[in-house]
Structure 1
């Protein structure tokens, strides 16, 4: 049964996920996952201190250009392959089912680890901010409260999450733009020093570490494809949302970090950031805004971390849902809530995983930030950057013999994206101890989990092919059609997507 949905009355697929997402809503999901305020407060000062100082803004631009090449190919395949499987499905179409199962397991590991990492960051900063205002509550309490809300929102239809994420994103971007305006008013053009883009700065010591932190800050931009089955017109919404998100993140991060260089001074930014670290932007707010707005920024930092946590929770759910639906993981994960049209069991599973992992860290007496956040976000970041690089190769493989291949969109752009992302993967592995802030051998061994998933996944797929050939034939299948504009594809496009063909 199929009806044509109107823009005002989103309709779930027959027994499937709710189809209520538009391009702006998907952009909110992506940008919220990148957590602009959290990146500025937590990541940028580290890039200043450990990297090439005033060259950080240029590295954000470089990372944005590299990921734009990735997005060109990613958008091309997303117009022809519509599925909630993201990397898992795209790798299947380009490289085959065995590598796809490996990619799917890496994605489950990476997104679940990143979600737990954000749990730790939220609990840590919520405790600090609350304690500074007289409310001293253990981090475990903040983690439990946050997880309760994240779990409830993830259980329900995604539109509710989008509204929460939209408010959070607008608030955190707004406070940073207010700070940037204050710096520009005081310093004029000197607030944007050209030395940040000079050849001498870009070839200086620490550029590799800076590049690593720049790529880290874009985590989540690939998640648009996960919502293809929940979009009104996925052939149009997913590519547009991906392009818009990468452009916004690159320009915003580059601009705000450039403003910070101008506010502190190019010659001092490395030392000042090294001494102040997470307080850098709060000190700038005290100087250029007011103490009241600094308090607002601190509260918004917690909101930013919560929004990123919720976005990654939803992304992890989609991978659990799809792999459960296709029998790679337990089938119960692949069921949809009858009323909310959401992957509710996948959400409950991700919530349970977070509870167990956070409890283990708490019982071990480890710090929520240095224990949970750095290690789990480090693992998640490595897995996602690795999958982005593999996806570029998959795009080339998928279009290689297709009549709708294009020299730029399906060949050169993804090849350039692969080169940049392969370099990014190498940098994350090389500087994993720097990124996690510890030389603990257990944390240092975490990247081997990515290797294990990438190796065991294809072996598991080959076993399925031998023992369950009918199930194997259904793995990572999607609505596959020639790339063409939505308007030219005919009025039945949304019906075919809704029917899951």
Structure 2
């Protein structure tokens, strides 16, 4: 019997994920765990406040409009198609196979960066907590903790998916309860100076200490605002492992967006008024993730701040596991479709997990962590910061960068990649809806309304990308957008779009390689059984 070189040699069983392993609740738990609600609020709300000032809730209003307008596309696709390819398989339906494969490549890259960024942040949090509470310091600092957390995370990811879903439930419920207690306490006490509507307007972007502030600060903050929703989409990859996937997946996607939006609106407003909206940047933003602990101690009690610290660590661990699971399935699907080595498209004989894909992802994560461990920083006389890659230690003025900086760089880069995929999903949906109407012989109102929402969503997703890219273009274009109030993002944030571009080019080269393989003559491709 003849076999082409494109066909896998492994048995069908060794290339199959665990069917019917997840119920609706499990898919939803994994989706919420990917968002890491408590950790996202603790870490990212202060970062957004440092950019957008008191208008952090307005950031989530804008991001929420984009995500809610996104729901017709994702619900429509998820009710018709279920695959480990997730968003990539949907894009292939509307825009073609090549667009789908490139989208899967983008999702795999974005998810790998997300996983790595959360593990680095987890290492930084562990270093801070153990040093403060137990006066215990380990050689290598956050890097060592991150390496250990990476081994633990990917070790758990290789196990049966049903075990992983059970493991995240407790952490997810505890972090939700903790966040609700904090928000309720601040709301009932009226914050530091009472309730105020300024955080819901652009006026809040002009508070002291906001950098860059204004409209640009709002757009820059949207990158992290959208990033805080990323994770809800992990449920899209469990179509082959969920029971009744065409119900479980769309319900989990829609419910996650709604719950996350409400929580982020409430939590960001509570954090801003907790310090007083006038001090959103110079106190909330300047204090970093410690600001959230200060709010816990001030409005609930010192013991509650300690609970938040512990649950922040567990929340990040569950988040890293959720992203690793999802990324492993994107890599598995790309291996199955031959864009990547076909070995990645195999599953563990016992646990039915994509163990080889997860191993490759773990190795990539470790290499990236060790590379970022070489980043050193130095504060200049003018207050700016210089960075370099160096093996030397102890040189005057230079120190290893804290894990918070690599977290910001990687999460921002990953968000850009995922935003591109979100836009492609919208465009694929518009094309699919209009194609159906043409086949029916007339345009229908629901298709037109959903298409308009999809285009609005794409525009909103494109705004954060524009704030990074357009001012950095040299010459007339960059000068024009600078005159509108945009400003070039400082190094190293200004080079992050280039990394996404390089990743896209890498995917394009893989597509060319795949195309050249599939176009070989039958005499060249046929092999003996």
Residue 198 (structure 1) shift: 4.4
1:215-230 paired onto structure 2 within 5 Å: 215-230=226-241
SS at match of 1:229: coil
From 269, 273, 279, the counterpart of 1:258: 269
1:118-163 Cα shifts (integer Å, max 9, x gaps) = 1110000111011110222332332232122211211011122212
Which protein is richer in helix relative to its size? Answer: 1
Q: Which residue of 1 aligns with 2:82?
A: 82
Do the aligned residues in 1 keep the contact of 2:219 with 2:463 (CA within 8 Å)? no
1:153-192 paired onto structure 2 within 5 Å: 153-187=156-190, 192=195
Residue 409 (structure 1) shift: 6.6
SS at match of 1:402: helix
Residue 396 (structure 1) shift: 1.1
Residue 370 (structure 1) shift: 4.6
Q: Distance in 2 between matches of 1:302 and 1:179?
A: 17
Q: Distance in 1 between matches of 2:489 and 2:447?
A: 44
- 2:325 is equivalent to residue 314 of structure 1: yes
Q: Which residue of 2 aligns with 1:454?
A: 504
Residue 236 (structure 1) shift: 1.0
TM-score w.r.t. length of structure 1: 0.83
SS at match of 2:288: helix
Do the aligned residues in 2 keep the contact of 1:212 with 1:424 (CA within 8 Å)? yes
Q: Which residue of 2 aligns with 1:299?
A: 310
Residue 470 (structure 1) shift: 9.3
Do the aligned residues in 2 keep the contact of 1:111 with 1:313 (CA within 8 Å)? yes
Structure 2 unaligned blocks of 5 or more: 1-11, 207-213, 375-389, 392-399, 473-487, 522-529
SS at match of 1:420: helix
Residue 384 (structure 1) shift: 0.9
Do the aligned residues in 2 keep the contact of 1:336 with 1:343 (CA within 8 Å)? yes
What is the aligned residue count? 454
Q: Which residue of 2 aligns with 1:376?
A: 410
From 444, 466, 469, the counterpart of 1:426: 466
Do the aligned residues in 1 keep the contact of 2:271 with 2:284 (CA within 8 Å)? no
Residue 377 (structure 1) shift: 1.8
Q: Distance in 2 between matches of 1:370 and 1:52?
A: 20
Q: Which residue of 2 aligns with 1:20?
A: 21
From 178, 197, 200, the counterpart of 2:200: 197
Aligned alpha-carbon RMSD (Å): 2.8
- 2:361 is equivalent to residue 350 of structure 1: yes
Do the aligned residues in 1 keep the contact of 2:82 with 2:239 (CA within 8 Å)? yes
Q: Distance in 1 between matches of 2:372 and 2:48?
A: 27
1:238-283 Cα shifts (integer Å, max 9, x gaps) = 1111110011111001101111223222223232223322211111
Q: Provide closer, same or farther for how the CA distance between residues 189 and 251 of structure 1 changes in structure 2, counting only shifts above 3 A.
A: farther
Do the aligned residues in 1 keep the contact of 2:110 with 2:414 (CA within 8 Å)? yes
SS at match of 1:230: coil
Do the aligned residues in 2 keep the contact of 1:32 with 1:169 (CA within 8 Å)? yes
Q: Which has the higher contact order (CA 8 A, sep 6+)?
A: 1
1:357-401 Cα shifts (integer Å, max 9, x gaps) = 222333556435155322222221111112111111111122321
Q: Which residue of 1 aligns with 2:98?
A: 98
Structure 1 unaligned blocks of 5 or more: 1-11, 472-501
Q: Provide closer, same or farther for how the CA distance between residues 201 and 357 of structure 1 changes in structure 2, counting only shifts above 3 A.
A: closer
Q: Which residue of 2 aligns with 1:464?
A: 514
SS at match of 1:277: coil
Q: Which residue of 2 aligns with 1:145?
A: 148
Q: Greater Rg, structure 1 or structure 2?
A: 2
- 2:243 is equivalent to residue 239 of structure 1: no
Residue 424 (structure 1) shift: 2.9
Do the aligned residues in 1 keep the contact of 2:224 with 2:412 (CA within 8 Å)? no
Q: Distance in 2 between matches of 1:144 and 1:210?
A: 29
Q: Distance in 2 between matches of 1:43 and 1:431?
A: 24
Q: Distance in 1 between matches of 2:489 and 2:237?
A: 33
Residue 440 (structure 1) shift: 4.0
Residue 84 (structure 1) shift: 0.9
SS at match of 2:369: helix
Residue 430 (structure 1) shift: 6.0
Q: Distance in 2 between matches of 1:444 and 1:198?
A: 27
Q: Which residue of 1 aligns with 2:30?
A: 29
Q: Distance in 2 between matches of 1:431 and 1:59?
A: 20
